[in-house]
Chains A and B, each alone.
Chain A
Amino acid sequence: MNAHTDIDSLIARYFEGSAGKSESAKLADLLTNDPEVAARFAVVSRTEHALAHHFESEAAAAVARRELAETIAESERREERIAAKATKGETVAAHYRKVIQPVLRAAAALALLALATYALWPDAPSPTITETPAATPTERKNIPSGEPVRLTHNALSKRDRLKQELASFHLPQIEIQSDSLTGAMDLLITHYESVAAEHGENVASLSQFHVAPGVDAAAPIHLSLRASVPVSTALTALTIQADARPRFTGEGVILEPHVVTNPDEIISRQFAMSESTFRQLSQAASTEWSEAEEGISWDASQVLQTFGIHLDTDHEQARFDPSQQKLAVTSTRRNAASIDALRRAADATSQTQIHLTTKLVQIPLDQENGDITQHLPTLVQTESLLSDPEYQAIMRSLSQTSGVDIMTMPAAVGRGGEEISVSAEESTDDSRSIAGVSLESISQNAEKLALNASRVFVYPTESDENGNAPTPTRTYEFSVPAADTEGKQISVITRFTEADGETSEVILGGLARFEDDGLEISGEDLPTMHLITVEPLIQGEGETPENQTQQLYWNLEADRASLEKQLSQGQASLQALEKKNTTAEQELADELKFTWQMDGAQMLRGYNHQTCTQCHNDDVDAGDFKLGVDFGWIKEQADVCPFSQTSQFTWPEPSFTTPSINVRTTFEGHRIRVEGEVRIPKAHPPGNLNAGSQWNFDATQAPTNQIQFPQLGKLPQLGSLFQPTDNRDSVIFDAVLAQGEVLMLEAARTENTRTLLFLSAKKTR
Chain B
Amino acid sequence: MSAPTPNHAHFLRLFLQNESDLRAYVGALVREPAAREDVFQEISLTLWESFEKYDTQRSFGAWARGVATNKILQMRRANSRLPIAFPPEAIERVLEAFDATEEEPGSREEALRDCLGTMPEKSQSILKLRYEDKLSCKQVAKRLRRSLDSVYQHLSRLRSQLEDCIERRLSADDLSTPARPHIPTK
Contact = CB atoms under 8 A, between A and B. Distances in A.
Interface of A: 5, 8-9, 12-19, 24, 27-29, 31-32, 35, 38-39, 41-56, 58-59
Given A18-B138, A47-B163, A50-B112, A39 B97 contact: yes
Nearest to A18: B136
A19 B93 CA distance: 20
Interface residues of B, number: 41
Given A9-B152, A55-B132, A35 B97 contact: yes
A297 B25 CA distance: 52
B166 A47 contact: yes
A8 B161 CA distance: 13
A43 to B, nearest CB: 6
Nearest to A34: B93
A56 B87 contact: no
A15 B136 CA distance: 10
Interface in B65-111: 85-87, 89-90, 93-94, 96-98, 100-101, 103, 108-109
A45 B25 contact: yes
Contacts of B156: 5, 8-9, 12
A41 B23 CA distance: 15
Contacts of B90: 27-29, 31-32
Contacts of A13: 152
Contacts of B103: 46
B97 to A, nearest CB: 4
Nearest to A50: B112
A388 B21 CA distance: 88
Nearest to B128: A55
Contacts of A9: 152, 156
B127 interface: yes
B41 to A, nearest CB: 17
A50 B94 contact: no
Contacts of A5: 156
Contacts of A39: 97, 100-101
Given A46-B21, A49-B27, A54-B113, A14 B85 contact: yes
A415 B134 CA distance: 64
Contacts of B96: 35, 38
A205 B27 CA distance: 65
B76 to A, nearest CB: 13
B163 A43 contact: yes
Contacts of B112: 47, 50-51, 54
10 A-B pairs with the lowest CB-CB distances in the bound complex, closest first: A49-B24, A45-B28, A38-B97, A55-B132, A42-B97, A55-B131, A31-B90, A28-B90, A38-B93, A24-B85
A38 B94 CA distance: 5
B22 to A, nearest CB: 10
A537 B32 CA distance: 94
Interface in B125-151: 127-128, 131-132, 136-138
18 contacts: A12-B155, A28-B85, A28-B90, A31-B86, A32-B90, A42-B101, A43-B101, A45-B28, A45-B94, A46-B108, A48-B27, A49-B24, A50-B108, A50-B112, A51-B162, A52-B131, A54-B113, A56-B131
A48 B90 CA distance: 19
B20 interface: yes
A14 B24 CA distance: 14
B93 A32 contact: yes
